[in-house]
Amino acid sequence: MRQMAIYGKGGIGKSTVSANLAAYFAESGLRTWYIGCDPKSDGSMTLLHGRKIPTFLEQMKVGDEEVVFQGFKGINCVETGGPLAGVGCAGRGIIVAVQKLGRDHFREEDDVLIYDVPGDVVCGGFAAPLREKYANEVYIVTSGEYLALYAANNIARGLANLGVALGGIICNSREVENERAAVAEFARRIGSQLIGFVPRSAVVRDCENRGMTVIEGAPNDSQADAYRHLGRSILENRAMAVPTPMEPEDIRVLLRETR
């Protein structure tokens, strides 16, 4: 089973990318898992027609064993959950969930598993899928903006510290000038690759307002094809390498050079 973790700073569109990738994999006939690791537990909603499912921790607390919910084309959806904001470790739910899911639910016949992980640093519980060896390849979502690249670089630093391979950088476009070139150069300088470029499109918001991914809500739109192209690139990807993060001040230099 391909087990991948998608990282990226808050608000970068990581859950949108992750859910559309899951939808593409399922559309292709692959048995797919989507594990939402954000304490807000909202990442899976577009795979479930807008439904917010109870979290793994909530179900465990009341003794309910139903922790896996079927989404678009049979995708197995789980939201790990976490403590109240400002209380405890946000990664606690991830640690507990990945251990129990790995023991009781994941099967050899499953094809793809996606961890949708929040945060701009790979620390504490957010590193659980990697530390526990439940994810063996990582993709980072960013844009061509400085703070997004700064966060991506921090994540790359965390991966380097853990000795974990990076599969590539996904650019979720904010329509920044020369964005593709800037993100591709950033990827090259940290020893990785630009694995995909997702254009900015109003179709994404329209589909999310209907509780759907673009793959489901607008399957014939060019935006759906952009997610399919990204998904194919990831499935065919074998170029994994432990990244070498940049010095933060060099990111500004890079952006000036590629402007």
Q: Which residues are catalytic?
A: 9, 14, 40, 120
Pairing of strands 112-116, 69-70: unpaired
Strand-pair partners of 75: none
